[in-house]
Chain A
Amino acid sequence: MSKIFDANEQPLVDVRHLKQYFNINVGPLRSKPLKAVDDVSFTIRKGETLGLVGESGCGKTTVGRSILHLYQPTDGEVEFAGKLIRSKADIHELRKKATMVFQDPYSSLNPRMTVSDIIGEPLDIHKMYRNKAEREERILELMERVGLNSEHASRYAHEFSGGQRQRIGIARALALRPDFIVCDEPVSALDVSIQAQVINMFVELQEQMGLTYLFIAHDILVVRHISDRIAVMYLGKMVELADAAVIYDQPLHPYTRSLMSAVPQPDPKIARANRRIVLSGDIPSPLNAPSGCPFRTRCPHAAPCCAESMPEFKEVASGHFVACHRVNEL
């Protein structure tokens, strides 16, 4: 499948210094910014799958939502297909071309709507059809495309299994013929055997329709399978970004290294031989993020300089970005 990208081609999604803060009440009349995403920059090329991994609370979902402007970003710029997203009209246009598949196929589908209305809703909002018949036809076509029986269009979501519900969610995301889909943990809620069906469908849809994905997941083996490049986040910062194979086999950032070594390998011999780098302690609260590098409190290589300033997210090899003060010494 290995895709070839033109380095000079303009990226489809260009995120520059994105910041997303939420004000959290910490006491009576006192609030504090929670820096869910703090100065994150990356690009996604057309037809590419960028995997985004990290542990809960690291801001990966927020990145996906901020790109789609489901939140108004605190600061930074998002450029989509060469166009900077600024006004409400821009956002409206963006949402025709960029859609989302959610994690939980149980809570992301309205239980009071039929499948046909769920899939048809984006078409209604953006008035993408001339008449009822055209709308109907498009819905049935979408259902067949994601492997659902089109005779079930008048059923409700609760009549479907988890895997089928996720297909409904994918059909809804495809309804507007988007270029870009943010997939937020789309297979985490599914059983292993169903997960493989849905992953294959994402790959096939990409091949057929030239889709671009931001694939957010915590399961590193799934992300490794589907992604061209992988970005790793920790406490609101992006710490490493490189080709999927490089991130998986030759990670440079100490956090990525421990994350990759912690992946439970489904192979007893590898698992027994594997030298895991087990991190001590827990992820700090994003409300009390450490000074300097956010990872320094758990980092086995932390030095005094790590407490002083946030390391720059810089390119250390072609296409390989790392934010670590000591990257050259490790």
Chain B
Amino acid sequence: MSTEPLLKVRDLHTSFFTPAGEVKAVNGVSFNLDRGKVLGIVGESGSGKSVTAYSIMQILASTGKIVSGSIKLDGQELVNAGESVMKTVRGNKISIIFQDPMTSLNPTYTIGHQLIEAIMLHTDRNKKEAWDRAVEMLQLVNVNEPQKRMKQYPYEFSGGMRQRVMIAMALACEPDILIADEPTTALDVTIQAQILELMRSLQEQLGMAIIMITHDLGVVAQMCDEVIVMYAGSICEQGTADEIFYNPKHEYTKGLMRSIPTADTAGSKLHPITGTPIDLLNMPSGCPFAPRCDNAMKICIKERCERMRLNEYHFSACWMNVKDGMGQASDAEQTEKGGGTK
């Protein structure tokens, strides 16, 4: 296996240019994704987690634009690579599934038609071969009676079944990376368990890397090897799942962990994060979380903390770590080595 990460994102800035001004939805995001790994991106609404994914796929809304930064897939630069290059990347090398399986499928075509369309677009299979491949894919995602299901329309499928079809479609061309944008948020708990189980087993079987975007820390704990925590367009903290859950080093991550109810919190008070999320149109010059942070210091309001390496598996952008004397590597070194954990 080469040491070069499969996907290398460096200092990505994506903005939306609205009549009210520039919304910096992604503000300097860097990370690596290695082959066969599951990377979780967590954050609240408006934290920029989905925009990061859409930037990688370059499927931003018309007002959105990658302002600067670099996205390298297997060493190939994707930013400004042009639509013809992106067409060979989307579906073939990186696929995406969305939150809402109800609206991701076209209601006027059969499932088979839509699967075959995707397969024929990306491979040189003929219609017969594409049909066989589609049936094979439906079997892979445990859809019963695939021959019959191919001829049915999306309305004849339940939510969980539609998400299976979306996964089948996304994996039909054996991509290296599957981006899953809140894949189970619209589903019920028992159906969510089915889909997560399916994604886990497909990942082991096919060996693709997964970027799992979610707000649910439970899903992250279950699925991910590495975790990125985002707030207001930037990464606060990043590391292995164990480091993030058992040794959080950013005040926001700590607050998030404290605020989720668990079996042990019953009968006691939760510790919520005070205040409301930041307005992306009026970003402060300091740490974006400082206005809500209980331990904010003077420097937090004045100056944004750069990402610091705490150990081989753990990065955090919080001045508290400097205070505690933990940030060890200089910024230049981290940018060189990137956020990848091996």
Contact = CB atoms under 8 A, between A and B. Distances in A.
Contacts of A224: 261, 263, 266
Given A218-B189, A264-B221, A265-B222, A193 B262 contact: no
Contacts of B262: 221, 225, 265-267
B197 A278 contact: yes
B263 A259 contact: no
B112 interface: no
A74 interface: no
Contacts of A194: 272, 276
Contact of B273 (A1, A196, A264): A196
Given A194-B276, A276-B197, A279-B194, A264 B263 contact: no
A26 to B, nearest CB: 15
Contacts of B192: 262, 264
B267 A1 contact: yes
Interface in A251-280: 258-259, 261-272, 274, 276, 278-280
The interface centre, meaning the residue of A203, A262, A264, A283 with most chain B CB atoms within 10 A of its CB, is A264
Contacts of A191: 44-45, 215, 277
A184 B147 CA distance: 41
Say whether chain A's binding surface is mostly helix, strand, loop, or mixed: helix
A268 B259 contact: no
B217 interface: yes
A220 interface: yes
A193 B158 contact: no
A163 B277 CA distance: 10
A327 interface: no
B113 to A, nearest CB: 23
Given A161-B276, A264-B192, A266-B260, A196 B267 contact: no
B272 A196 contact: yes
Contact of A196 (B188, B217, B260, B263): B260
B161 to A, nearest CB: 7
Contact of B272 (A200, A218, A225, A283): A200
Contacts of B189: 55, 218, 220, 259, 262-263
A192 interface: yes
B188 A192 contact: no
Contacts of A161: 276-277
A274 B241 CA distance: 16
A282 interface: yes
A262 B190 contact: yes
B120 to A, nearest CB: 30
Interface in B182-198: 188-194, 196-197
A274 B265 CA distance: 20
B271 A196 contact: yes
A75 B192 CA distance: 34
Interface centre among A195, A258, A266 (most CB of B within 10 A): A266
A222 interface: yes
B85 interface: no
A249 B262 CA distance: 12
B118 to A, nearest CB: 24
A270 B263 CA distance: 12
23 contacts: A55-B188, A163-B276, A164-B276, A192-B215, A193-B277, A193-B292, A196-B260, A196-B261, A199-B270, A199-B272, A221-B260, A221-B262, A224-B263, A248-B263, A258-B190, A259-B189, A262-B192, A263-B189, A264-B192, A265-B222, A268-B245, A278-B194, A282-B158
Interface of B: 44-45, 158, 160-161, 188-194, 196-197, 215-222, 241-242, 245-246, 255-257, 259-263, 265-274, 276-277, 292
Given A161-B277, A192-B215, A192-B260, 17 more contacts: A55-B188, A56-B188, A191-B277, A199-B270, A222-B261, A224-B266, A225-B270, A264-B218, A264-B219, A264-B221, A268-B242, A271-B218, A276-B197, A278-B197, A280-B194, A282-B160, A282-B191
